[in-house]
Amino acid sequence: MVLEEAIATAIADLESQLREVVIKYNITLENIYNFNKKGFLIRLRYTIK
């Protein structure tokens, strides 16, 4: 139970930090991307072609 609470707290902290950065730099939602290694490699492959 302690681990789950720690994870939930960490996620909430990250969400709060993200919200602060989005507001501070006036970032619009269409300029926020979800990147993982596979998604990046797929985009890189199509960019190189």
- pLDDT tens per residue across span 1-39: 899 999 999 999 999 999 999 999 999 888 877 666 565
Please tell me the distance from the alpha carbon of residue 35 to that of residue 43, in angstroms, as a whole number.
10
Q: What confidence tier does 40 reach under pLDDT thresholds 50, 70, 90? A: low
User: Average pLDDT of 43-49?
Assistant: 54
Please tell me the distance from the alpha carbon of residue 13 to that of residue 21, in angstroms, as a whole number.
12
- Under a CB-based contact definition with an 8 Å cutoff, are residues 22 and 32 in contact? yes
Q: What is the pLDDT of residue 30?
A: 80
pLDDT of 45 above 80: no
